[in-house]
Amino acid sequence: MASASSTRSTPSSSHPDDSIAGANTILKSADVWEVTVPVTVKGRYIPGIRQPNHRRRISIEIHSLLPSFEDDSMGPVSSSPAEKKKSARKSEESEICYVRFLYPPGSMESIAGPLLKEAEKIEGFADAVIKKRLLSPFKDEKKETTLQHGARKNNDEGSSVESMLQSMDESNKKELLPFDGWFPRYKISIREFQIEGQKKKELNVSFFHKGRKKEKVLLFETESGAKEFCAIVEKNKKMQDIRSKRRLENALGGIKLESGEELTFLIDICSGTDIPRSDIGKNSDPMVSVWFNGVKIHQTDYIPNTEDPIWTLRRSSVFLWKVPAIDLFKSEDCLMFEVEDFDLGSSSTSLGAFNVSAKTLYHWNGERREFALKSLLGEKDFGKGKVALRVRRATEDDIDFMEKYERSKNKKREVTTLLQLKGGKGTIASVTTVYKKKAKEGPDQGKEIYLVRPGPDPKRKDSTTWLTKEKIEEESIAQSRNWIDIGSGNLGKIFLEIIGCDGLPNMDTGGAFGNKTDAFVSIVHEDCMARTDVIADTLSPRFMPWSQRAFIFNMMRTSSQLFLAVFDSDSNPFSQHDFIGRVSVDLSNFRNNTVYILIYNLYKTAKCEPRRGAAPLGSIKIRLRLELEDERTLLLSNFKLPVSVYVNVESKKDFNVIHKTVVGNVDLKRYGLGNINSYVNELWSYLVVYYFLEDAFVSLLLWRGRSNLTLPVPRIPSFTVQWKHLTFPLHSIAAFLTVISVVENPDLLPSVSFGCIGWLLVATSEKRSKNPNPWIRSKSFGYFLLSLILGKHTTGPQSIEPNENVDAIEANSTSWMKRVKDAEEKANQRAIEYAKEQEEYWSEIESLGDGDISTKAGLFTIDPTRVYLYPVQEWLGIICDILRVVRNVIVWEEPHYSFIIAFGSFILAFVLYFFPWGYLIKWTLRVVAWVIFGPWMMLADKFYFSKLESETDEQKMEREGNLRLARRKQLENQLLEAQIRREKAEKLKDFKQFMFGQFVSKVNITKLDRSFDIPLPESSATPYTPKSLSLGELAMEEAGYRRTRINGQQLVGDMIPTLFETPSTEAPLGKATKKTALLKGGSPGVQIGNDSYVAAAIKVGSIVLSAGAVTWFGIPLLVYFVGFLFPGNGQKL
């Protein structure tokens, strides 16, 4: 062995310790001893065994703390250079002492053979642990240490120093310079290092490394060397408190902690990027372990086979960590995050780690930050990889959620009551139950009476158990008693009541014996779903006002549809509910404070082929009313981009119901030639629009009257006025004036172009408003303009009688169908002619031959078309969706977007009207011509372009390298944005699956149906006239009396998102009620409320007039009295 005397090593230049094994430090000085670390058996050193050359060095090092490691996104710790210098000086004053083991350079040869011969003499050789130690003297047993949240590998001493040196980066190799190339293995805080005993030159020591206690024997050459080592260890231990105090002051950096303060952090391990591989041929299975003071406090699940993992709630990404504030700032290495590659059946491989300082944790407020991975001391450095974190102080809601989450891991989720069906019957019960009989007494004696389903009125059981068909119809129209308030929006409320269905097909067998359809209605709107009770064994179910049939949906978007579907209930848990038909209720053209009785035909889907001639599958009758807060707010909400909305359910059976309610029984996402054919037919149908545009252009060009104008015509003999309807070619006049203006003044072209867009949309709105069917008419441009200016419409509620204009509707429908048929025949005729021309052309080409003389071999494949046609199907679907959106805007099916585009076009047209476009274009071209083609371009060539040609290879490489670096940075930013979007989506999906259910169904916010569901002519609309209530009754109603409030599934926030909660009461803060107009006369608070626009205008006008009168008459009087009392001052005034 070498001399045991200590060597004082003070490096000439400080080298930062960049490896992750404690705080980020700079080595100041070190005392080094050469020792031997012998093989031990059960923790004992046996001198009789011939020892291998376990030559080591052990050093006691004094380090200065560097400013805490931060990632680039966090910016500098100190804002000014002076503060940075002051912080660095304080860090150098803060010292920390480590004990380090050093390995010699060069490889270590295996000595298993000699050890085996010596081991045969030892009693207990059969012990597996002893055998393993003797066979692998340079490796500790791969024993797993169970900690708080999982397992930790302990592969501590590696197989060879050379392999470790090869894997090190340059920053770690600098660490070897003060130690003559010896390799540092452990870096142990003096606090964790203990001398268990000394026997002459033999020392027994122990220390904690990665949460595991290790014991070793150190053999010094001389006893004095061992004593010197012990003395220096004892000296540094005595200085622990002083150094800890300095480190604490440096760590706090001016932060003042309260006595006994405890911090609870919410930590979210978001994702990893470019995680390195440790295995050959496959990606890593990364997981993250979190360490504090050598103890593992958390471990995520592993994500299999990925370079870009995303850890979610159920992958243990989120956890709470409670720590005393003083312990956090006293910690030497604070919080360490280590990424490992999970290996089943063996120890995990470290892929890198990083530290987060106490100050960073203390000030962190939930923003996303990325940290680069660095190698652990003695581990392979992969040189890449990042991990993103979010940290903030935990709130009471966070703590409550995490406690519920931990409790619910092993519990089954309860299904919401809205999905539980009540009222259904099995086959045997249906056959044996009597549903119809003749009344033997009472006012209905001799009449047929029917069993009321799902049950009688709880308040009138005797009189409502059996009713005649007429009385059942009468009862079903009555107002509902109990409402379910559901959803997450705040733009308005939708009051929906399911009245009944007619003409449903029988979906059950045994209809002759009374076993018929057990109907229920499923409703989906935005982020929520609901169901009615089941009405058993009837093809014309009626939902009673005391049953579950009334719902209040809160609106988030104006374009959201109300999806209704009728199903036949099946109580068998292993079978699906039978789908009957569905309907999409468009709410965008319904008016506020109007009660609608709507009847719709039911169809299987609205996504594919048109319904022309298809027989409906029954009908559904509903009552609907909108309660909108503010028309202006409703309109302006469309400036926000629509977000995807999803509904989660727990079972596959419920998912099937939700999916068919929204989409129908056709899945256009699945590959199929039928789906491709449907898309092609839809695209072909849009070509028919050409003939309608041709017709419109001819009408415009030939001044055929298309606009109706009502004018008063005086009648001279009777001195009266008669109103006459005239056909007025308004659009032709406007087109003529526009064209001649543009011809005379080309500068108006940009303004006219935008004006034409608005004009086109207004014209289509006008055409739609003239439709005899009131259910096809849309809100006009003027309606939205007044709503934007005044905040509400002035036309009042809507009123439509049943079968209104039914004859005109039939005639218009027949005429329209004839025009469509004629247009389609024209299109088909042209297609046939084109096909014949192509056939003749290709027949001539084939007769000439293609010049290929090789033999054509047939290829066999199971489905050769899928690989080529499925991408075509996806693109066709995207094109059809875009065309549907464009169509809906043009024909005012999306009236809010149509108005915004039209109004914006008119505004742009007005603004661009004042731009001198000709002048700008003329001078722009002049500047371009003079600058680019002038003689001064010789100077540009001399001072710039010629230098580019004469630049050296190094300059060229530098310039191209800067360009590549800029492009790469831009690409990295784009990839980061994509990673964050994917990360948010995955985490939100996992949260929703945990909170609401595993199965996810997307709900369309934008209207993407091919066909429109229009109410039948039997539908009606009447103004809503609410009943006046007392203050107490109104306050109870607005507070949710007889309403069940259920939140929707809209989540907001990061880390632990929370439900978007709609207020449980409608009354504003500080007021008893909101709708003061509904109060009875004489009730307290009846005068509370906002004035109408007319009353407000009168008040403002009177105030302005009063102020003007006072100014006009009061000021001269005041001047007169001042002059009268103070003559000198009065003259000055």
Q: Residue 783: which of 771, 798, 772 has the closest Cα? A: 798
pLDDT band for position 427 (50/70/90)? low
Give the residue-averaged pLDDT of 477-506: 91
pLDDT at 11: 41
Query: What is the separation of C-alpha 470 from the centre of its chain, rounded to a whole number of angstroms?
Result: 50
Give the residue-averaged pLDDT of 121-146: 36
Name every residue whose Cβ is closer than 8 Å to that of residue 100 and which is 6 or more positions away in sequence.
30, 58, 59, 61, 184, 185, 186, 187, 188
Give the residue-averaged pLDDT of 364-392: 88
Taking only the tens place, the pLDDT of each residue in 438-475 is 888 878 888 888 999 888 999 898 888 999 999 999 99
**713/357 Cα distance (integer angstroms):** 88
Query: Mean pLDDT score of the chain, rounded to an integer?
Result: 77
DSSP state of 169: -
Are 498 and 460 spatial neighbours (Cβ–Cβ below 8 Å)?
no
Taking only the tens place, the pLDDT of each residue in 995-1035 is 888 898 888 888 888 888 999 999 999 998 887 777 766 77
Measured CA distances, 47 to 36, 38, 88, 1045 (Å): 13, 9, 50, 79
Residue type, 875: W
pLDDT at 177: 44
Listed in sequence order, the DSSP H helices in 942-1085 are 946-950, 953-996, 1031-1038
Taking only the tens place, the pLDDT of each residue in 760-775 is 888 888 888 888 889 9
Give the residue-averaged pLDDT of 983-993: 90
pLDDT at 107: 36
pLDDT at 1082: 59
pLDDT band for position 904 (50/70/90)? very high
pLDDT at 585: 94
pLDDT at 135 over 90: no
3-state secondary structure of 521: strand
pLDDT at 56 over 60: yes
pLDDT at 21 over 60: no
pLDDT at 320: 94
pLDDT band for position 599 (50/70/90)? very high
pLDDT at 264: 94
Name every residue whose Cβ is closer than 8 Å to that of residue 851 and which is 6 or more positions away in sequence.
none
pLDDT band for position 514 (50/70/90)? low
Are 693 and 700 spatial neighbours (Cβ–Cβ below 8 Å)?
no
Please state which of the ranges 291-300, 616-625, 1064-1073 shows the lowest mean pLDDT.
Answer: 1064-1073
Residues 912-948 as b/e (b if ≥16 CB within 10 A, e otherwise) read: beeeebeeeeeeeeeeeeeeeeeeeeeeeeeeeeeee
- The pTM assigned to this predicted structure is 0.74
3-state secondary structure of 455: coil
pLDDT at 550: 94
Are 242 and 58 spatial neighbours (Cβ–Cβ below 8 Å)?
no
pLDDT at 247: 75
Taking only the tens place, the pLDDT of each residue in 282-306 is 888 999 999 988 788 999 999 999 9
pLDDT at 407 over 90: no
pLDDT at 161 over 60: no
Task: Using a pLDDT cut of 70, give the percent of the chain over it.
Answer: 73
**654/633 Cα distance (integer angstroms):** 35
Please state which of the ranges 440-444, 557-561, 649-653 shows the lowest mean pLDDT.
Answer: 440-444
pLDDT at 38: 81
Phi-psi region of 1118 (alpha: psi -120 to 50; beta: other; left: phi over 0): alpha
pLDDT band for position 478 (50/70/90)? very high
pLDDT band for position 711 (50/70/90)? low
pLDDT band for position 1131 (50/70/90)? very low
Q: Higher confidence at residue 470 or residue 159?
A: 470
pLDDT at 1098: 64
Are 532 and 622 spatial neighbours (Cβ–Cβ below 8 Å)?
no
**95/72 Cα distance (integer angstroms):** 26
Phi and psi at 1098, nearest 5°, equal -65, -45
pLDDT at 134: 35
Give the residue-averaged pLDDT of 1047-1061: 84
Q: Higher confidence at residue 718 or residue 539?
A: 539
Name every residue whose Cβ is closer than 8 Å to that of residue 519 and which is 6 or more positions away in sequence.
501, 504, 534, 535, 538, 541, 566, 567, 568, 569, 580
Taking only the tens place, the pLDDT of each residue in 688-705 is 676 667 777 777 788 776
Taking only the tens place, the pLDDT of each residue in 786-838 is 888 887 766 778 899 999 888 888 887 787 777 777 776 776 777 777 677 76
pLDDT band for position 1093 (50/70/90)? low
- Tell me: cis bond preceding 304? Omega within 30 of 0 counts: no
Please state which of the ranges 28-42, 94-108, 455-469, 959-973 shows the lowest mean pLDDT.
Answer: 94-108
pLDDT at 681: 81
pLDDT at 969: 86
Please state which of the ranges 131-140, 787-796, 872-881 shows the lowest mean pLDDT.
Answer: 131-140
pLDDT at 1085: 58
pLDDT at 640 over 70: yes
Question: In the structure encoding, which two tokens stand for residue 629, read together?
Answer: 């807060």
Question: In the structure encoding, which two tokens stand for residue 1051, read together?
Answer: 């989540």
Q: What angle do CA 325, 321, 286 make, to 5 degrees?
A: 130
Give the residue-averaged pLDDT of 411-421: 59
